[in-house]
Amino acid sequence: MVFFKDGGIIPNCNHYITGELLDSLKVRPEEVISYEDQGLVFSCSDHWENNYFHWIAHALPAFYAALQSGIQGKFLVPSPLLPWQQRTLELVGVDLERCCPIKKDQQYALSNVDYYELGTGEADFAISSLSAKAYQQMICNINASVSPALCHDKIYISRANKEHRHLNNETELITLLEERGYFILDPEQYSIDEQIIIFQHAKMVVALLGAGLSNIAFCKEGTIIYELIPSHHDNQCFLVMSLQGKLRYWADKFDTGVDHNRPDHLSAWINTLDIEFVETRLGELEQFIEL
């Protein structure tokens, strides 16, 4: 979100909104909704608040920081608040009665607002001990039974039913992984509490770059993470998350055949994944699984 004060944009709040789009933003006085009677409010999310990675990596630690500050205030939250967002807020310790819903296409008047570098892009790739503490708080607050169905040493996060960065030979990759004893996981089929349990018990996680990999935030120290990175979206976000969680991270970047100069990082792979190479790498990494 973008904040205005005295008619001008507060410089460091615009995140990736730049250029003509930023210049076009103006206060629309006749449309402003007043939240001035709410006192101090915390703004804890970024422009992609409905994206699972951005919510886990940037929003939740900011909510946690606000709670730890001891400062009394309310929280701006997206409207509608999705069920998984609501549950993660509960796990962090946010009282939903203290939340003020806001919509992206509307403007609000606030008397006093605190916002965080985690939501402005200034700490996107920072290794944050505070973030690690936020995830530990969530782990402590889960309310789900630990059943054998949720406990797997080796898991693969499938993107088979995902629209973005589709890999046309993922079925072949899944066959290989199943033969090697991996549990094929679609995180969306599980509650937030169950997802936390699954990743708490994993000793090795394999995944293509995607939002589901955000759950490594809940892995135990020493868990092996193997990320398959597409060349048209070389992003170090999960390396950072691994370092702050003291996980053992390895990645290989694969030529997807997609034009690297294109702005669309969501494009499907053109090339196939080198399954033989992945098989060799798995053999090397699996030797380090802690029994």
C-alpha 215/C-alpha 66 separation (Å) is 22
Which of 18-27, 91-100, 109-118, 195-204 bottoms out in mean pLDDT, i.e. has the lowest? 18-27
Domain limits, the chain: 4-141, 149-286
Considering only CA atoms, which of 32, 29, 90, 289 is closest in space to residue 182? 289
Q: What is the pLDDT of residue 290?
A: 78
Fold of 149-286: Rossmann fold (3.40.50)
Which of 182-186, 190-194, 262-266 bottoms out in mean pLDDT, i.e. has the lowest? 262-266
- The share of the chain scoring above pLDDT 90, in percent, equals 64
Q: Long-range contacts made by residues 216-220, C-beta under 8 angstroms, separation at least 24? A: 216/241, 216/242, 216/245, 216/247, 217/56, 217/57, 217/131, 217/135, 217/241, 217/245, 218/135, 218/138, 218/139, 219/245, 219/247
Considering only CA atoms, which of 150, 180, 174 is closest in space to residue 160? 174
Count of CA atoms in the C-beta half-sphere (13 A) of 282: 23
Digit-coded pLDDT (tens) for 255-264: 887 776 665 6
Q: What is the pLDDT of residue 263?
A: 53
Q: Given its phi and psi angles, is residue 245 left (phi above 0), alpha (psi -120 to 50 degrees) or beta?
A: alpha
Q: Are strands 248-254 and 40-43 parallel, antiparallel or unpaired?
A: unpaired
Q: Which residues of 76-85 are buried (b: 16+ CB within 10 A; e: fewer)?
A: bbbeeeeebb
Q: What is the pLDDT of residue 281?
A: 98
Q: What is the pLDDT of residue 164?
A: 61
The structure's pTM equals: 0.91
C-alpha 209/C-alpha 217 separation (Å) is 15
Digit-coded pLDDT (tens) for 44-95: 987 778 889 999 999 999 999 999 999 999 999 999 999 999 999 999 999 9
Digit-coded pLDDT (tens) for 274-291: 999 999 999 999 999 976
How is residue 276 written in tokens? 């033989």
Work out the burial of residue 219: count CB atoms within 10 Å of its CB; fewer than 13 is exposed, 13-18 middle, 19 or more buried: buried
Cα pseudo-dihedral 240, 127, 155, 54, rounded to 10: -80
Q: Calculate the CA 56 to chain-centre distance.
A: 4
- Please provide the average confidence, as pLDDT, over all residues in the chain: 89
Q: What is the CA radius of gyration of the chain?
A: 20
- The share of the chain scoring above pLDDT 70, in percent, equals 91
Would you place residue 26 in the very low, low, confident or very high pLDDT band (cuts 50, 70, 90)?
confident
Q: What is the pLDDT of residue 123?
A: 65
How is residue 34 written in tokens? 């007043």
Digit-coded pLDDT (tens) for 115-174: 887 666 666 677 889 999 999 999 999 988 899 999 999 999 997 776 665 788 899 999
Q: What is the pLDDT of residue 20?
A: 79
C-alpha 35/C-alpha 129 separation (Å) is 33
Q: What is the pLDDT of residue 14?
A: 65
Q: What's the start-to-end Cα distance of the chain, in Å?
A: 46
Q: What is the pLDDT of residue 163?
A: 63
